């Protein structure tokens, strides 16, 4: 999948070959930084405000100064798509680290943040959106501040790898049996037509798509309940699904050996998938869940 050549940095745009860092870089040595993954459909950002706001919140939480004023960052992100002539479905990966400095755990006195953002093609995972995915469960061994979208992802990486080794798409994370979220997405359970998900506390990432799922539920008169559910609750769930900028709203059909309900994507998940396509402004021919396509 193509990575487009023009890369945004804290100073301006560079070509891929021109981007280099000293090995004493705090993102590399400490994971001392933050990031965002922003979805693009048909060459246009989806939920850009939500991502930029969260980026600034994450930066403030770990005392990193974003090297651009907010309005300038918006302009640069637009320029990133223009310069690369992005017209299709893609994603932007943007990261900011505290900067480059001799290794020392404490922050150096004078340091400037390093930023890079690049665009990569990303088709929608159509087959999985239609047919659903399987998952495993995994201990949530991460730190307490998962609302910060930090580069420290070892807990997430190990959980995702465990899923991959079981031919599964995702790992549902739990603390003492209470589900928090997934390794790179938010997790939901549907029971009696109501959607349950972990409250937006400090121990989960406040997903941009999660915010939209809440809005879709409101719009569709589906009760959205921010209450933790347990691994046990999964036993008699009607539906389970996950959400993220790259996975959209994705049906989960199996958790470990447990088949959810009848093992097919359920009606509430389908409704939310339809809402997602409309919200993302997808053209009719690209929609998988419009009435015509669903029949
Ligand atoms: N992951 N929870 C975790 C731990 C995540 O890493 C993500 C996003 C989400 C969903 O957030 P959003 O709806 O804003 O994408 C929830 C991105 C896609 C990633 O790390 O690649």
In contact, 249 and 234? CB cutoff 8 Å: no
In contact, 252 and 132? CB cutoff 8 Å: yes
Structural domains of the chain, count: 2
**Helices (H), ranges, the chain:** 26-30, 48-61, 70-83, 126-131, 154-165, 208-219, 267-279, 291-294
Q: Could you tell me if residue 164 is left (phi over 0), alpha (psi between -120 and 50 degrees) or otherwise beta?
A: alpha
CB of 244 closer than 6 A to ligand 1?
Answer: yes
Domain's final residue, options 99, 121, 143 = 121
CB of 208 closer than 6 A to ligand 1?
Answer: yes
Q: Identify whether 149 is a catalytic site residue.
A: yes
In contact, 100 and 22? CB cutoff 8 Å: yes
Per-residue pLDDT of the chain in tens (295 residues, 90 and over written 9):
689 999 999 999 999 999 999 999 999 999 999 999 999 999 999 999 999 999 999 999 999 999 999 999 999 999 999 999 999 999 999 999 999 999 999 999 999 999 999 999 999 999 999 999 999 999 999 999 999 999 999 999 999 999 999 999 999 999 999 999 999 999 999 999 999 999 999 999 999 999 999 999 999 999 999 999 999 999 999 999 999 999 999 999 999 999 999 999 999 999 999 999 999 999 999 999 986 554 4
Task: Say how far apart CA 11 and CA 15 lie, in whole Å.
Answer: 13
Nearest Cα to Cα of residue 138 among 115, 157, 118: 157
In contact, 125 and 251? CB cutoff 8 Å: no
Nearest Cα to Cα of residue 46 among 197, 231, 198, 211: 211
Domain's final residue, options 121, 142, 167 = 121
Whether residue 180 sits in one domain with residue 257: yes
Q: Which range marks the domain in which residue 132 is found?
A: 126-294
pTM, two decimals, is 0.97
Q: What is the CATH number of the domain that holds 74?
A: 3.30.470.10
CA of 42 to the centre of ligand 1 (A): 21
* Residues recorded for the chain: 295
Nearest Cα to Cα of residue 201 among 142, 141, 241, 145: 145
Task: Say how far apart CA 64 and CA 226 lie, in whole Å.
Answer: 30
* pLDDT on residue 2: 86
Whether residue 215 sits in one domain with residue 167: yes
Domain's final residue, options 121, 147, 180 = 121
In contact, 180 and 189? CB cutoff 8 Å: no
Of 180, 184, 199, the one to substitute when testing ligand 1's pocket (max ligand atoms within 8 A of C-beta) is: 184
Let me know if residue 163 belongs to a domain.
yes
Let me know if residue 1 belongs to a domain.
no
Where do we find the tokens 């569709």? 220
CB of 171 closer than 6 A to ligand 1?
Answer: no
Whether residue 285 sits in one domain with residue 259: yes
Q: What is the CATH number of the domain that holds 255?
A: 3.20.10.10
* pLDDT on residue 290: 81
Strands lying side by side in the sheet with 6-9: 13-15, 6-9, 114-121, 90-97, 33-41, 44-46
């Amino acid at each position: 999948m193509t990575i487009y050549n023009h890369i945004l940095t804290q100073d301006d745009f560079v070509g891929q070959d021109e981007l280099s860092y000293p090995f004493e870089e705090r993102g590399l040595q400490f994971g001392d930084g933050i990031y965002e993954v922003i979805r693009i459909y048909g060459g246009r950002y989806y939920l850009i405000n939500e991502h930029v706001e969260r980026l600034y919140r994450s930066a403030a939480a770990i005392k990193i100064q974003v090297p651009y004023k907010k309005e300038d960052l918006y302009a640069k992100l637009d320029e990133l798509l223009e310069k690369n002539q992005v017209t299709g479905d893609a994603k932007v990966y943007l990261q900011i680290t505290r900067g480059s400095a001799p290794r020392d755990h404490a922050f150096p006195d004078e340091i400037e943040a390093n930023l890079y953002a690049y665009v990569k093609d990303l088709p929608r995972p159509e087959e999985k959106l239609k047919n659903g995915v399987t998952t495993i469960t995994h201990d949530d061994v991460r730190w307490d501040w998962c609302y910060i979208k930090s580069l420290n992802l070892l807990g997430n990486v190990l959980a995702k790898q465990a899923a991959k080794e079981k031919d599964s798409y995702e790992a549902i994370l739990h603390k003492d049996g209470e589900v928090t979220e997934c390794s790179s997405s938010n997790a939901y359970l549907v029971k009696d037509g109501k959607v349950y998900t972990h409250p937006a506390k400090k121990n989960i990432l406040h997903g941009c798509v999660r915010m939209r799922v809440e809005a879709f539920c409101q719009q569709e008169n589906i009760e959205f309940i921010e209450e933790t559910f347990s691994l046990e609750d999964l036993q008699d769930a009607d539906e389970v699904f996950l959400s993220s900028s790259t996975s959209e709203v994705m049906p989960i059909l199996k958790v470990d050996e447990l088949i959810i309900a009848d093992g097919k994507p359920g009606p509430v998940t389908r409704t939310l998938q339809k809402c997602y396509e409309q919200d993302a402004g997808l053209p009719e021919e690209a929609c998988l869940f419009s009435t015509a396509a669903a029949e």
